[in-house]
Structure 1
Amino acid sequence: MDKSSSQNKDSAQPDLAQYQAQWTKIHNDTIKQIKQIREKEQAKGSDKSSR
């Protein structure tokens, strides 16, 4: 029983690393999207104020 539980932990490590890497990518992509949206909103705001 101990062997199977330790084997499961070993095989779970790459899965955990992949999971964390995916969430890191999602997080970074989300931050980029938020920045892009804010920049677009600021550009629209500056267009309105220059009129």
Structure 2
Amino acid sequence: MIDIAICLIHQANYLIDRQLQRLEKEFIAQGGLRERMTRVRLARRNNPRPRSS
């Protein structure tokens, strides 16, 4: 029973490590949440959508 728990802990640790690596790459490539929000806001401000009537 203990062996199963240890195995599950190792698997969870491995998956968390992979997720952290992916998030780090994404952060380096795209920036943080605030940077992405700023880019979207500036793009919207520079290219406003016409209002539909």
| TM-score normalised according to structure 1 size | 0.58
> Could you say which structure has the larger radius of gyration?
1
Size of the alignment, in residue pairs? 32
Identical positions, percent: 9
User: Normalized per residue, which structure has more helix?
Assistant: 1
Aligned equivalent of 1:28: 14
Other-structure match for 2:3: 17
Q: Which runs of 5+ in 2 are unaligned?
A: 36-53
Task: Give the CA RMSD over aligned residues.
Answer: 1.4
Deviation at 1:37, TM superposition (A): 0.2
TM-score (norm 2): 0.56
Please list every run of 5 or more consecutive structure 1 residues that lacks an aligned counterpart in the other structure.
1-14
